[in-house]
Amino acid sequence: MNFIIILIFSLLLCVACDRPKATNTIELEVTADLEELDMSSEPMQLPKELPEPIIDKSSRVAFLGYHQIITRGSPGEMRIMATKFRSQMQILKDAEIPVISFGDYMEWRDGTKEIPESCVIITIDDGYDDLVDVALPILREFEYPFTFYLYTNFLGGSGRTLNDEEVRALIEGGAELGSHSVSHDFLVRAKRKFGNENDYEDWLAKEIKGSKESLEKRFGVNVSSFAYPYGEYNEGLAKKIADAGYTSAVTVNGAKSGYETPLYELPRYIIHGNNDINWKAGTSFRGKGGLVEGQNLIGNRNKTAVNSGQIKVWPENGKEIIDRLPKILADVSAYEEIEPNSLKMKVSGFGDVPAVYDKDSGMISWAVKRKLRSTKYIVNLSFSEAGEKKRYFAAWSFLLDRNVFYLPDYQQRVRVERSERFNDLDD
């Protein structure tokens, strides 16, 4: 028995003696690893090909088409008074709908440039001299880019058309030149005039490619867009436009353009001078209502609402507030009485909202029901007076300072802001 115990004890001692010293071994391994590391600094290697930019493809673009902008005579489908044209440009500005160039749109379609979520492009057809005399000063005032389409038979043909010097001045000022054919004839149905197919094809080539080459040679610029005369086109004609070297073509089919819209069938809203149907449709974007009227009612603070027909609102246009549950107000007491059923208010992020009209105070109001989260909001308001068909329009925006919400005295500040809003309206 004693012999067995002594044998087991001897074996345990042998095992203990053979066990490696873990601590010393780990220290040696760590030291060896450190000696092999290369700690010298090296410049960061960038990838040889940068990744493609991420472009938002959800934007909606309205092409607006004009013809004559006149100062005398009667307005018509293709003629709009200068006063109305200017008021429409003012409405776009007041409603904060950006105006972009055709080139901006094409760069977006190429995937190389961002454009606003909702925006418009201004085009003017034919080449009447009022483009320089009347429209250009207005467009310069608002710093709006535009594209103008010329048909070469009309250019410099009479006292009311643009001449070469005026065209060059427009181009130097940043306007983009497009082709509207040679004769402005119907390009599809004109085929009936020709006795054989070859004669028609020769004529069509001159109308399409010939007009492009003529304008490019005459003015030294690239003419990349074509406007179908009268908006008439078909698939075969669109293919000829592409084969001639144009990168786009515009129609008169009123609709918004998106990222996937065929480039040789870009729709346009032709703006009439004697009705607002296309203007309303073209300037209606998601949370923004149709901008029909010729003057935004958000007034100059130096004028009285009674004399100018303008209204006061809260939050004021461009004002920054802290209340995340504000009441939006519009003082329309300058008007005799508002037809309640005509009242429409849209607020970005909310869409149509149930605004209420108080006849006694002349106040339109809507209380926000859920906390505001964005930093900027746009309000669109329209209404009619009782017994009248004419609609009045107002658009304004306000800002929200969200940081104040987390301060300990937020509620106190909100109470002060709410008490002051009525003072703002009474000023």
- Summarize pLDDT for 9-64 with one digit per residue, the tens: 555 555 444 544 444 443 444 444 444 545 455 555 555 665 555 678 889 999 99
| 179 and 211 Cβ atoms separated by less than 8 Å | yes
Mapped onto helix, strand or coil, the DSSP state of residue 16 is: helix
Residue 34's pLDDT is 42
Q: Specify the CATH class of 60-282 in words.
A: alpha beta
Residue 189's pLDDT is 94
Return phi, psi of residue 36, to 5°. Answer: -85, -15
Q: Which two tokens stand for residue 177?
A: 């030149």
- pLDDT higher than 50, residue 209: yes
pLDDT band at residue 141 under the 50/70/90 scheme: very high
pLDDT band at residue 293 under the 50/70/90 scheme: very low
Q: Which two tokens stand for residue 25?
A: 């071994």
Measure the CA–CA gap between 78 and 270, rounded to whole angstroms: 8
Q: Are strands 356-358 and 363-367 parallel, antiparallel or unpaired?
A: antiparallel
- pLDDT higher than 70, residue 378: yes
- pLDDT higher than 90, residue 229: yes
Among residues 290, 121, 322, 91, the alpha carbon closest in space to that of 83 is found at 91
Supply angle C-alpha 174, 178, 184, rounded to 5: 140
Greater model confidence, 67 or 46: 67
CATH 2.60.40.1220 in the chain, residue ranges: 305-426
Query: For 216, left (φ over 0), alpha (ψ -120 to 50), or beta?
Result: alpha
Residues 332-367: pLDDT tens digits? 998 888 998 989 888 877 878 999 999 999 999 999
Residue 37's pLDDT is 44
Q: Which helix H or strand E contains 138, and what residues bound it? A: helix 136-142
Greater model confidence, 291 or 375: 375
| 251 and 241 Cβ atoms separated by less than 8 Å | no
305-426: CATH number = 2.60.40.1220
Residue 237's pLDDT is 96
CATH 3.20.20.370 in the chain, residue ranges: 60-282
295 Cβ contact partners less than 8 Å away, ≥ 6 residues apart? 87, 90, 91, 393
pLDDT band at residue 203 under the 50/70/90 scheme: very high
Measure the CA–CA gap between 330 and 394, rounded to whole angstroms: 9
Greater model confidence, 7 or 367: 367
Q: Which two tokens stand for residue 260?
A: 């996937």
Q: Which two tokens stand for residue 134?
A: 């009347």
Q: Which residue type sits at 211?
A: S
The pLDDT of 170-184, averaged and rounded, is 95
- pLDDT higher than 90, residue 327: yes
Q: Which helix H or strand E contains 320, and what residues bound it? A: strand 320-321
Mapped onto helix, strand or coil, the DSSP state of residue 125 is: strand
The pLDDT of 261-274, averaged and rounded, is 95
What is the pLDDT of the chain when averaged over all its residues? 84
Measure the CA–CA gap between 199 and 203, rounded to whole angstroms: 6
Residue 135's pLDDT is 95
The pLDDT of 288-314, averaged and rounded, is 54
The pLDDT of 398-413, averaged and rounded, is 90
Residue 1's pLDDT is 55
Residue 3's pLDDT is 56
Q: Are strands 176-179 and 147-150 parallel, antiparallel or unpaired?
A: parallel
